[in-house]
Amino acid sequence: MIRKLRELAEREGKDRSALIREILERGIKERNLEYAVDLYRRGQVTGWKAAQLAGVSLWSFYRILAEKGILIQYSEQDLDEDLRA
């Protein structure tokens, strides 16, 4: 793994520790998105709340759901929450 990191850092012209931070940040963001999508899919949070958890806009979150083939669940309660926000 260290060798692969070194090769990747050299190829991208980056310091290895900077590359590791970048990879960790990307991984954390992806995990947060996966978590938010899962909560939304199970009906435990609204689209608005899931988007906040994922750190993306509501419309970006809905686009991600569409790309994943997940139906958007939007109720009157969701509309009220979105209007208040």
Which tens digit of pLDDT belongs to each residue from 5-62?
Answer: 999 999 999 999 999 999 999 999 999 999 999 999 999 998 889 999 999 999 999 9
Residue 19, CA distances (Å) to 1, 3, 13, 55 in order: 13, 13, 10, 22
pLDDT surpasses 80 at 85: no
pLDDT surpasses 90 at 76: no
pLDDT surpasses 80 at 75: no
Longest dimension (CA), the chain: 54
Whole-angstrom distance, CA of residue 32 vs CA of residue 24: 12
**pTM for this model (two decimals):** 0.75
Whole-angstrom distance, CA of residue 14 vs CA of residue 17: 8
